[in-house]
Amino acid sequence: MSMKSDPEDILGAFDDMRARGQDVRSREVMRRFVSQWFYGPGAELEDWEPSDWQERPSFLNGIRDENYRQWAEDLHGLWKKLSKRVSRDVRDYPERHSSMYLPYPFITPGGEHREVQYWDTYWTVRGLLLSNMLETVQGMLENFAEMVQRFGYVPGGGRVYQSKHSGPPLLIPTVLEYLEHSNDITLIRSLLPTLEREYDFWMTNRTVDIRGSDGSMHTLNRYHVLVGQSRPEAWRLDERTARSLPRGADPADFHSHVATAVESGWEFSSRWLADVGPQARTLASIRTRNIVPVDLNAMMCLSEVALARIYQRAGDRRKAGYYNSAAARRRVAMDKLLWSERRGAWFDYDLQAEGRRDRFYISNVWPLWAKCYGNGMGDANIEARVLSYLKQYTDVLNYTGGVPASLQESGQAWDYPYGTAPNHFVLIEALSVSQLTEAKNTALNLTRKWLETNYRDWVHTGAMWDKYNVITGRHPRHSDEEEDVKDGYGWTNGVALHLLDKYGNLLKAPDVSGSPDNHASATILLIGCLMTVLMTSV
């Protein structure tokens, strides 16, 4: 949101409108007022033509199927549509805008997100590196560095209200990806103080000490945002939910748990909701600060290993040893506190219940990707245990459209039946480098399912989306307005390009002839036939 004048002028105009007796509760009155004093969405952003974009990057040559190769070329083309820069008006008049000023152009996620988003960027960058857009990636990393210098950490995104919290910490692994692709050690040396400051923020402000069953103390990370008021971007929802809290409950504590869930990237999910009580499994029962998340600690472990590798490349063995030791301590802590020997997976730790939450979330397998267990070098026994967990305990590998975020049908975005690109990337990458042939085959099969889901919906809608229903294989559209969103979605694009590059010589695009309505009609016909058979047999 951007103002056409200074805030004092707009407040004065609003007071004058009320003094003249106009009904400020009228939708039409307020629509005219907003049109007069505010610019439309995205006005603070300017289109930008990235100079490092090229027509046909070399990775396309490795994609065997003609339809998939054309799709990958189309996705590569979307980078130009998603390229933006913040206007100088934001720099000169920051009080008029909800956007932060960033000095370098960037790739937006797309869809409803017109601003840069912290953790989305890791997967977007993976795609940009395949497209050989090194200059664009460099600018995005320097934007994050500027944010760290300004706030002491990377905010959750590029809006002013997102500066009150961070997001899943993937800056350091992103920098390592850039280094390994570019060998630009000069830029990386200049970023090292910033990377350490980002890491120190998480280790100073987002840790908790937990005593293990053997009496030993361990330090792990959690999300923890102390903001005691409703979110500006969701004020009505938060205020309404706060009014529904039980008598005696502290609204500020509720708002803090909500802000903490936003920091987690999983807003919202049954991961953060209470299982019992009068408001169980509703947003009113949220308690995110009480949960020590598996995936967050996997990301911190990944960051520690990445810092060690970066310092090793920079010739600082002492610092490399320091971060290798930090990663080793974290692996011990996760093995002691989050790993379940009985189930064969890692689980979120509940600080109130003083134990693991024994429930499936796809985040349970993130340490397998980060190799944050044992000696950090991989272990065929652990890989086999996790694969068995996925097959026998949860059966999540058998959905036609991919793997759901959870098996809890809560109605939240990060629960059943929805799947996202980052979680598929993590699971596929973890299984693909396994020593087990079955795990490698499972990774290929999941890749086939996920890409077919993305591709079918792309053909039918002309768009990529932030999440998909893994049962229907379609995007869960929530409004007519969303039908008009055609440019996106950054992390889904990046993961699709990565998987097409990784497995493109093995995969064939599905036949998508016919309309989605025909597909739905066939499904209804099949269900009708089955019901007829069942009723006849009774």
Nearest-10 crossing angle of helices 490-503, 437-461: 130
pLDDT at 486: 56
pLDDT at 112: 83
pLDDT at 513: 81
d(CA 328, CA 330): 5
Gyration radius of the chain's alpha carbons: 24
pLDDT at 319: 98
Average pLDDT, integer, range 61-90: 97
Share of the chain above pLDDT 70, in %: 93
Share of the chain above pLDDT 90, in %: 90
Instruction: Give the number of other CB atoms < 10 A from CB of residue 89.
Output: 17
Q: Which helix (H) or strand (E) holds 220?
A: strand 217-221
pLDDT at 382: 97
Write out pLDDT tens, residues 419-439: 999 999 999 999 999 999 999
What does the H/E/C string look like for 390-412? HHHHHCHHHCCCCCCCECCCCCC
Residues β-bridged to residue 286? 273
How many residues belong to the chain? 538
| 520: three-class secondary structure by DSSP | helix
For 202-229, letters b (16+ CB in 10 Å) and e give beeebeeebeeeeeeebebbbbbbebeb
Q: Is the pLDDT of residue 332 over 60?
A: yes
Write out pLDDT tens, residues 477-489: 744 444 455 578 9
Write out pLDDT tens, residues 99-121: 999 999 999 999 888 899 999 99
d(CA 267, CA 254): 14
Residue pair 497/75 in contact by the 8 Å Cβ criterion? yes
pLDDT band at 520 (very low <50, low <70, confident <90, very high): very low
At 502, list the tokens: 């990784």
pLDDT at 536: 34
Q: Is the pLDDT of residue 526 over 50?
A: no
pLDDT band at 251 (very low <50, low <70, confident <90, very high): very high
pLDDT at 479: 42
Average pLDDT, integer, range 303-330: 98
- The pTM of the full predicted model, rounded to 2 decimals, is 0.93
Nearest to 351 by CA among 224, 174, 501, 519: 224
At 372, list the tokens: 């944050």
d(CA 331, CA 535): 55
Q: What's the mean pLDDT when you consider all of the chain?
A: 93
If one compares 1 and 135, the residue with the highest pLDDT of the two is 135
Q: How many helices (H) and strands (E) does the chain have?
A: 18, 12
Average pLDDT, integer, range 270-274: 97
pLDDT band at 514 (very low <50, low <70, confident <90, very high): low
pLDDT at 97: 96
If one compares 531 and 188, the residue with the highest pLDDT of the two is 188
Write out pLDDT tens, residues 25-42: 999 999 999 999 999 989
Q: Is the pLDDT of residue 252 over 50?
A: yes
Q: Is the pLDDT of residue 533 over 80?
A: no
pLDDT at 485: 53
d(CA 105, CA 86): 7
**Residue whose entry in the numeric block shows the structure tokens 């003094």:** 19
Average pLDDT, integer, range 159-179: 98
Write out pLDDT tens, residues 378-424: 999 999 999 999 998 888 999 999 999 999 999 999 999 999 999 99
CA angle 214, 220, 224 (to 5 degrees): 135
